[in-house]
């Protein structure tokens, strides 16, 4: 039981850290979004409260917390309260399955044996399948909110949002299968390892093999996150605010966290599948470790620093994709609902099938 | 002594029973559907504990992520009202229910007594990592015909669904 | 097993965090309930329409077509896993198998497309 107790403690700490990181990222992203949108639209954005308007986040948080707790009269209270909490679960579970950096190898220390510490919540054997299946549960929070609010706008918004999510999930899974075909595994860490090194003078990243797949994956990710230009569920011209019309205050904040969490998952996956994960172009983790081992006596410290270097590399890539999400939101107008469904079923789905067939045929001809 | 595996298993099993019970006893159909999702997720966890990662994924993606979403959407579409009683009453339907329950219990008991030992050896035999690949190899060699037949079956269902949605008449046939 | 426990821990953590904070925060804000406030929101007007609005059957159709294609897509995962490692011995065989499967899938897509099931408006 001793080993078990240790494992449980490590897991508990890891889970708490990952979840708190996700929660902490949200205000920062909201700030980036507001400043970014102001920059794009030639405005100022929040710049009065603190340096660069950064403490605006704290003011916002206080405002969210101090709002009146409110349930509409005809609402189903249980579903109404459960929906924002459920909205957090898929994003949090997916983020914990993502390998953020190379594992840290801790040397034997006294009576305690050597230990490998993964910079990852848990090693889900079939990571891709795990993340896809967990995020396919994302529709429930929306449906719960739509039904629980007892408001026709919420209901319409929820139906639209879930129909949109399921439609784009097909093209998304098909574009992911393209990646699985190339690397022959569903394990995220293995996919990252296979992207080490250099090919044709360029980093050996997935985008070299799956350029069309990347475009499809990223567009579908926008639809899965209900972000503009796909935020039909919240088309305020028609549906007030979609499925969260009746929500305000802290419960609204939880929905926000869920949405930004989905964005983070999508950015992490795009990085892992198509941009080498935590790999740095033109140098491998072993090389970095060797260099650092000559500088530091303890191999634990060297391993830790290597891990840190690659963590920063991963975060830079993810940060770029998160910025791309914000950038697109403030650049493109919203689709009409029929355009959205047409795009999903009549363009994305056939193109992703084509991409898959092309990949398989190319692999067959080139044998590998 | 109980290992942590046993503890997690029994907790999951209890929760599965609880949510399955919720499915049949809730008076509101929408709550039934949400309980069904809980039961599905629970069963997916149990599959993972057996090392059947792929089946767990299928369970979540197809059942929890697609089939029950359809249920919930349809319930919202028709906006069924809450039933006053969870069970309909009547001598004949009551007898039928008792009979079916007895049959299920019998099947369950038989399975438990007959296959408990074999299931354990099979689970031990198949490593958690290879099981997906083994399944894939079997599917694309020995069970090839079944695999291709599924595509035809799905095509038939798609045609049927489209044809039904285009029927004229009835309360909900036209959009 | 090694995955189930952390997943359950994290799920419980998230529910505790969300539910607990909603509960705690409810003590902080003001509470002035009124009949107008608890009415369903309808752009500031007094609500006129009943909740059970008619919804297009298209949503239902989209959901059922999604299930069908989702099942087909699920079967491609095991194929994708073994395709690369068996490319040398059985590549052509696997490719033709999947192309046959996909041909029927594409035919189904073509049919529902032509039948107008994907047309909104």
Which pLDDT band, with edges at 50, 70 and 90, does B168 fall under?
low
Indicate the fold that domain B4-83+105-127 takes in CATH: 1.20.120
Residue B116 predicted with pLDDT over 80: no
Bridge partner residues of A115 (DSSP): A106
H or E element at residue A235: none
Task: Say if residues B69 and B61 touch (Cβ distance below 8 Å).
Answer: no
| Mutation for testing the B interface, residue in A5, A80, A135, A140 having most B CBs under 10 Å | A140
How far, in Å, CA of A342 to CA of A162, rounded? 16
- The verdict on a CB contact (< 8 Å) between A143 and B73 is yes
How far, in Å, CA of B67 to CA of B45, rounded? 18
Q: What are the boundaries of each domain within chain A?
A: 5-367
pLDDT attached to residue C47: 61
Q: A4 or A99, which is more confident?
A: A99
- The verdict on a CB contact (< 8 Å) between C43 and A68 is no
Asked if the C-beta of B126 comes within 8 angstroms of chain A's C-beta atoms, the answer is: no
pLDDT attached to residue A240: 64
> What is each CA distance from A16 to A71, A288, C1, in whole angstroms?
30, 30, 20
Nearest to A367 among C25, C87, C99 (CB): C87
Mean pLDDT to the nearest integer, A118-134: 83
- How many Å from the N-terminal Cα to the C-terminal Cα in chain A? 46
How far, in Å, CA of A242 to CA of A143, rounded? 11
Region of B26 please: left (phi>0), alpha (psi -120 to 50) or beta: beta
Task: Say if residues A239 and A233 touch (Cβ distance below 8 Å).
Answer: yes
* Residue for token pair 């710049």: A47
* Residues 6 or more apart whose Cβ sits within 8 Å of residue B94: none
DSSP 8-state symbol, C1 = -
Asked if the C-beta of A72 comes within 8 angstroms of chain C's C-beta atoms, the answer is: yes
| Mutation for testing the B interface, residue in C7, C11, C51, C55 having most B CBs under 10 Å | C55
- Residues from A contacting B (CB-CB < 8 Å) are 1, 4, 8, 79, 124-126, 129-130, 132-134, 136-137, 139-140, 143-144, 146-147, 155, 158-159, 162-163, 166, 169, 186
How far, in Å, CA of A179 to CA of A211, rounded? 11
Mean pLDDT, all residues of chain A: 82
Chain CA centroid to CA A304, Å? 25
pLDDT attached to residue C114: 86
Statement: the pTM of the whole predicted model exceeds 0.80: yes
Q: Which range has the worst mean pLDDT, A4-13, A85-94, A125-134, A345-354?
A: A4-13
| Mutation for testing the C interface, residue in A166, A206, A241, A242 having most C CBs under 10 Å | A166
Q: B3 or A281, which is more confident?
A: A281
Give the CA-trace dihedral at A181, A186, A188, A194, to 10 degrees: -40
Residue B128 predicted with pLDDT over 60: no
pLDDT attached to residue B89: 66
Task: Say if residues A186 and A127 touch (Cβ distance below 8 Å).
Answer: yes
Asked if the C-beta of B33 comes within 8 angstroms of chain A's C-beta atoms, the answer is: no
Bridge partner residues of A280 (DSSP): A283
pLDDT attached to residue A236: 58
Q: B108 or B28, which is more confident?
A: B108
Chain A CB contacts of B30 under 8 Å are: 79, 147
* Residues 6 or more apart whose Cβ sits within 8 Å of residue A163: A341, B73, C58, C59, C62, C63
Mean pLDDT to the nearest integer, B135-142: 81
Cis before residue A229, ω within 30 degrees of 0? yes
- What are the pLDDT digits (tens) for A152-194? 777 888 888 888 888 888 889 999 999 998 888 888 888 888 8
pLDDT attached to residue A142: 87
Mean pLDDT to the nearest integer, B109-117: 81
Q: A225 or A128, which is more confident?
A: A128
How far, in Å, CA of A166 to CA of A149, rounded? 22
Task: Say if residues A255 and A245 touch (Cβ distance below 8 Å).
Answer: no
Residue A368 predicted with pLDDT over 60: no
**φ/ψ of residue A105, rounded to 5:** -95, 115
pLDDT attached to residue A239: 64
Asked if the C-beta of C34 comes within 8 angstroms of chain A's C-beta atoms, the answer is: no
Q: State the SS3 of A137-197.
A: CHHHHHHHHHHHCCCHHHHHHHHHHHHHHHHHHHHHHHHHHHHHHHHCCCCHHHHHHHCCC
Q: Chain A residue with minimal CA distance to B73?
A: A159
Chain A CB contacts of B57 under 8 Å are: 126, 129-130, 132-133
Residue B20 predicted with pLDDT over 70: yes
Q: B148 or A296, which is more confident?
A: B148
Task: Say if residues A158 and A83 touch (Cβ distance below 8 Å).
Answer: no
Chain CA centroid to CA A29, Å? 13
pLDDT attached to residue A269: 92
Q: Chain A residue with minimal CA distance to B62?
A: A133
Which pLDDT band, with edges at 50, 70 and 90, does B39 fall under?
very high
* Residues 6 or more apart whose Cβ sits within 8 Å of residue A266: A218, A221, A222, A224, A225, A321, A325
pLDDT attached to residue B2: 67
pLDDT attached to residue A316: 92
Q: Could you give the angle at the alpha carbon of C19 between the alpha carbons of A260 and B15, nearest 5°?
A: 105
DSSP 8-state symbol, A231 = -
For residue A320, the number of C-alpha atoms closer than 13 Å in the C-beta half-sphere is 11
- The verdict on a CB contact (< 8 Å) between B72 and A136 is no
How far, in Å, CA of B133 to CA of A125, rounded? 12
Taking one residue from B and the other from C, the number of pairs with CB-CB distance under 8 angstroms is 127
ipTM: 0.84
Residue B103 predicted with pLDDT over 90: yes
Q: How much is the CA Rg of chain A, to the nearest whole Å? A: 22
Which pLDDT band, with edges at 50, 70 and 90, does B175 fall under?
very low
Task: Say if residues C112 and B162 touch (Cβ distance below 8 Å).
Answer: yes
- The verdict on a CB contact (< 8 Å) between C73 and A89 is no
Chain B CB contacts of A140 under 8 Å are: 34, 37, 69, 72
Chain C CB contacts of B136 under 8 Å are: 78-79, 81-82
- Percent of chain A whose pLDDT exceeds 70: 93
Which pLDDT band, with edges at 50, 70 and 90, does B173 fall under?
very low
Sign of the Cα torsion C38, C43, C48, C50 reads negative
Alpha helices by DSSP H, listed for A240-284, are 249-274
- The verdict on a CB contact (< 8 Å) between A163 and C59 is yes
> What is each CA distance from A235 to A161, B77, C100, in whole angstroms?
10, 20, 41
* Residue for token pair 């979609």: A242
Mean pLDDT, all residues of chain C: 80
Task: Say if residues A159 and A146 touch (Cβ distance below 8 Å).
Answer: yes
- The verdict on a CB contact (< 8 Å) between C25 and A250 is yes
| Mutation for testing the A interface, residue in C12, C25, C30 having most A CBs under 10 Å | C25
pLDDT attached to residue B174: 44
Asked if the C-beta of A186 comes within 8 angstroms of chain C's C-beta atoms, the answer is: yes
């Amino acid at each position: 039981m001793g080993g078990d107790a240790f494992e449980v403690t490590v897991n508990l700490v890891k889970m708490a850290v990952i979840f708190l990181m996700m929660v902490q990222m949200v205000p920062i992203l909201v700030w980036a979004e507001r400043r970014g949108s102001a920059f794009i639209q030639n405005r100022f954005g929040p710049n009065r409260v603190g340096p660069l308007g950064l403490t605006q986040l704290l003011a916002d948080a206080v405002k969210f917390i101090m709002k009146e707790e409110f349930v509409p009269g005809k609402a189903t209270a249980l579903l109404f309260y459960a929906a924002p909490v459920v909205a957090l679960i898929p994003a949090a579970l997916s983020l914990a399955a993502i390998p953020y950096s190379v594992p840290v190898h801790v040397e034997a220390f006294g009576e305690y044996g050597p230990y490998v510490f993964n910079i990852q919540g848990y090693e889900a054997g079939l990571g891709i399948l795990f993340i896809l299946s967990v995020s396919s549960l994302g529709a429930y929070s929306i449906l719960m909110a739509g039904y629980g609010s007892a408001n026709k706008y919420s209901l319409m918004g929820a139906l639209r949002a879930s129909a949109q999510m399921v439609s784009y999930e097909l093209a998304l899974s098909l574009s992911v299968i393209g990646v699985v075909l190339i690397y022959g595994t569903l394990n995220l860490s293995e996919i990252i390892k296979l992207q080490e090194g250099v090919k044709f003078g360029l980093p050996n990243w997935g985008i070299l093999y799956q350029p069309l797949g990347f475009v499809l994956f990223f567009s579908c990710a926008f639809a899965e996150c209900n972000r503009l230009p796909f935020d039909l569920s919240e088309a305020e011209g028609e549906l007030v605010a979609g499925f969260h019309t009746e929500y305000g205050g802290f419960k609204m904040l939880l929905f926000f966290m869920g949405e930004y969490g989905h964005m983070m998952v999508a950015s992490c996956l795009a990085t892992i599948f198509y941009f080498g994960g935590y790999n740095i172009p033109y140098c491998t983790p072993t090389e970095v470790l060797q260099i650092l081992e000559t500088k530091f006596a303890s191999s634990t410290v060297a391993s830790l620093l290597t891990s840190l270097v690659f963590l920063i590399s991963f975060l830079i890539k993810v940060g770029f994709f998160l910025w791309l999400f914000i950038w697109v939101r403030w650049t493109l107008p919203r689709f009409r609902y029929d355009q959205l469904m047409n795009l999903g079923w009549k363009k994305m789905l056939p193109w992703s099938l084509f991409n898959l067939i092309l990949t398989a045929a190319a692999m067959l001809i080139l044998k590998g | 002594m109980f290992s942590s595996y046993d503890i997690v298993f029994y907790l999951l099993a209890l929760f599965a029973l609880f949510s399955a019970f919720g499915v049949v006893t809730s008076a509101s159909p929408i709550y039934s559907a949400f309980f069904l999702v809980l039961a599905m997720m629970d069963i997916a966890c149990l599959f993972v504990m057996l090392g059947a990662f792929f089946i767990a994924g299928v369970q979540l993606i197809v059942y929890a992520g697609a089939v029950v979403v359809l249920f919930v959407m349809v319930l919202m579409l028709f906006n069924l009202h809450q039933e006053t009683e969870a069970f309909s009453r009547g001598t004949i339907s009551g007898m039928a229910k008792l009979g079916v329950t007895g049959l299920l219990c019998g099947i369950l008991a038989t399975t438990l007594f007959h296959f408990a030992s074999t299931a354990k050896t099979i689970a031990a035999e198949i490593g958690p990592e290879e099981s997906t690949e083994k399944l894939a190899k079997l599917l694309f060699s020995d069970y090839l015909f079944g695999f291709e037949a599924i595509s035809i079956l799905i095509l038939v269902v798609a045609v049927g669904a489209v044809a039904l949605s285009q029927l004229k008449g009835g309360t909900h046939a036209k959009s | 097993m090694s995955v189930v426990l952390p997943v359950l821990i994290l799920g419980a953590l998230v529910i505790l965090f969300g539910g607990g904070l909603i509960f705690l925060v409810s003590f902080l804000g003001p509470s002035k309930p009124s009949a107008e406030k608890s009415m369903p929101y309808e752009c500031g007007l007094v609500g006129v329409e009943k909740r059970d609005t008619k919804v297009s059957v298209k949503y239902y159709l989209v959901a059922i077509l999604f299930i069908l294609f989702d099942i087909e897509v699920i079967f491609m995962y095991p194929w994708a896993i073994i395709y690369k490692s068996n490319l040398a011995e059985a590549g052509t065989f696997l490719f033709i198998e999947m192309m046959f499967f996909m041909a029927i899938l594409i035919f189904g897509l073509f049919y529902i497309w032509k039948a107008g099931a994907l047309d909104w408006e």
